[in-house]
Every structure is written in structure tokens, then in C-alpha cells.
A and B are shown apart, each in its own frame.
Chain A
Amino acid sequence: MISGGPILRGFRWRWLRNRLFSFRSLTALLASLVGFILVLMVVFLALYAWPAVRLNGTGFLTQNSWNLGNLYGNPITVHGQQILPGAEYGILFLIAGTLLSTAIALLIAVPFGVGAAMFLSEGVPPPVRPWISFFVELLAAIPSVVYGLWGYVVVIPFLGHHIFPLVVRWLGFLPFLGGPAGSGYGLFTAGFVLSLMIVPLITATLRDALVGQPPELRDGAMALGATRFEALRTVLLPAARRVLVGSTILATGRALGETMAVLMVSGNALNYLPSNIYTPISTMASFIVSQLDSALQDPTGMAVRSLAEVALVLCLISIVVNALARVLLHYQGRHLLRAF
């Protein structure tokens, strides 16, 4: 290699260009661009909502007082911010609605999901298994708005006119099951529809985990005298515990962010907490959709920023829940192979 000014410079530049524009680095750049979008979204939300965060303080999370104020009055200044007179933003009822509807969804989805997974893993002959499980997995593919349609047209009249009055009559002494039977729009209906959407997440992963267990586990249990079901219940299922927990958390993440189906069946409550399972509720996601256009009419912009604060809270909760699920599901000690 003859060393010399221009030749040396040229060589280095080519080296640099090869490194920068190599397939590997271009791909990496594209990939990190995506991560950048996510960070951008959260940062943008946080920045936009910051004035609202400062104004609302901790009362945002502890009070039931969502009030846009006098939309036709003149803005006043509170704590150095311009807001409409009477404006106040407290979303306790949203947090309650979101958490309670998700809790009910899990209460229904986990037992049914586990039961279905057990049935699918052991009770169905292997050739037929993929197609029968596929039928249940379809529940996850149906779009949220179609669930909303089904809920609105079929489930609400069914629950409101037939089931809820019966439950109130016969089981009304139990806590949260008594009181006015409502109209069908409410907490339980939302939870029920959500449960159907998330159950396949639990069933599919758990079934795969149960089927994928080393056969020695089952054989060993049966050699000790257990029946197939007992082997399933006492040995295989506990061995898949981490998968169950992980998929449940994933399901929670999905339920927390559901919008359209909940919007159509929840009853859209404002500023009150549910007293029983038939009471209307609102979730954070459905509230944003239903209130965004009203909020846009606030000339001070504080209403939209407060909605952005709601979105931020929801976003952070969802991200944390999903990250937790990933950690639990990936923590198998498996090597992450690179593609090249």
C-alpha cells in the first residue's frame, strides 16, 4: 500500500462509508428509528400534558371531578395557568373503571382460559388439536368494533333484560351483586366482552406450554399412580406457572388499552364510582375517544392537555404491564441468537 496524502484520505473515507452504509448498520438505523418513534410519542405526550400535570397535581388521580368548566365563560388564571372558570380534572372514576373492568375480565378469562387450555392439551387427539384450538384463537382475531357491535346489539339486551334482574333477585345479598339491575350497560358487560377478547392469549400460550412439556413429567406422574387429569393438574400445570402468569399479564395489557368495544357497552359514566357490577363505568381509553371533541372546544387548551395526561397515565401503565409480561415470558434462560 503506497501511503500518501490523497490516497490515504480516500482509503479511510471508503472504510468509513462501508461501515456507515453497510447493510448491518442501515438495518440497525431503521430499527432504532422505530424505537425512536415510541420514545418520541411518550415524550411528546409528557411535554404536552405537562401544564395540566402541574395544574392538576395529585388530585388528578384521587378525585372524581372531571369538569370542563363554563365553556361559555371567560378564562381565568389559576396557579399561573389560563383555564375556564370551574374547570377541574380528577379521574379517579376512570382509573377505577379501567382497573375494575380489567379485573372482571381476568376473573372470567383466567379460569376459562386455563380450563380450555387443559382440555385442548390433553383431552383432544393431536391431529384435531390445531383446528379446534384455532377456533378458540379466532376470538382474538375479531376486531374490537365487531365485539362492540355484538355487545350493543345482543349482549346488552340479553344481560339487561334477562340475566341481571335474575341475579339481583337470587344473589342480590352478595356484595356488589345487589342494588338496581341497571340497563345492561355497565361494568360487568364491559368486563365480559373484554374477557372474550383476552382469553385466547391465555389459552394459546398455556396450551403450547403444556403440550411442550417434556413427556417425562407426565409419564412420571402417571407411573406414580396419577390419572391423566391429576397429572395435568398437579404436575404439568404448576410447571407452566411462569407462562400462565406471563400470559395473564399480557392479557391485562391488552384489556387495559381496549377502546371501541368498551365504548359501546360501558355506559359512559362521569364522576361517580360504580356501586355494583351493573353500574355504568368509563375507562381511560374510551373516555379519551368520547371526550376529545368536547375538550377541543376549550379555548385555553387545558382540557385537551388534561386528556393528554389521561393518555399519558394509560400509556405508562400499559408499557409497564407489557414490559413485565415480556420479562416473565422470555426469562427462560434462552440464548438470543442474532440473525447474522
Chain B
Amino acid sequence: MADRKVRVLIAKPGLDGHDRGAKVVARGLRDAGMEVIYTGLHQTPEMIAQAALQEDVDIVGLSMLSGAHMSIVPRVLAELKECGLQDVSLFIGGIIPDDDIPRLQKMGVRGIYGPGSPLDQIVAHIRREVGDD
């Protein structure tokens, strides 16, 4: 019997050290029956792409509270592409000003979840993205 599980990478790029949000999301996804690979803090774009590749994840979530999203997100997307992972969906969470949202979406970010986003929404987003709904 085939045993399928959605695999999600949750990573914290950059220098901010606040990972409560990332842990809450990781826990919520676990409770939704997903396998969550959690990388911990201070990940470089290269580390994130390598983890996504080795773990063969369906989707990557970045948690960013530092305000560096406009410079980090394009680098993560470029690294993913470099690894041949352009079909892996990317979503982000954290403090993202409204003005930046359209630009991030244009870069290829498929979902943006700020503080207070219900976990159900994130779970539903992931299921939609990976075709598991």
C-alpha cells in the first residue's frame, strides 16, 4: 500500500532569532498530518535549497520577521531554480508590509501569511498547492 505524505520544509532565513511563529506553523502542519522538516535558525538561501532538494519536499515555507524579505526571497527562489526545484511552491510568513505583497507575488511567492493567520488557511493553501485537496 502506497503511503503518501505531504512533505513541507519550514526554514528561517537570515539573522532574526524569533522562531516562535515558525514552530507554531510546524506544529500545526504536523497536526494536519504533514511531515515537516524544520531547519532551525539562520539558514542561508543555499542551505534552504539544499534541504528542499535532499528532503524532496513539495513546498517550502519561510518565516521572516527581520524585514529582509525583499532581498532574501529572490535569492531563495534563485537557489531553488539552480537546484532544478522551480516547481516547488514557496510561501512565506512573518512581518510583510502590504506594499511588498504584490511584488513578492510577482516574484513567484504563492502564499503570504502575516501574524494572526489561521492555521487552517495555511493548511488549506498547502493542500491546494500540492494537489492534495
- Is the A/B pair a real complex? no
Q: What residues make up the interface of A, taking CB atoms closer than 8 Å to B?
A: none
Q: What residues make up the interface of B, taking CB atoms closer than 8 Å to A?
A: none
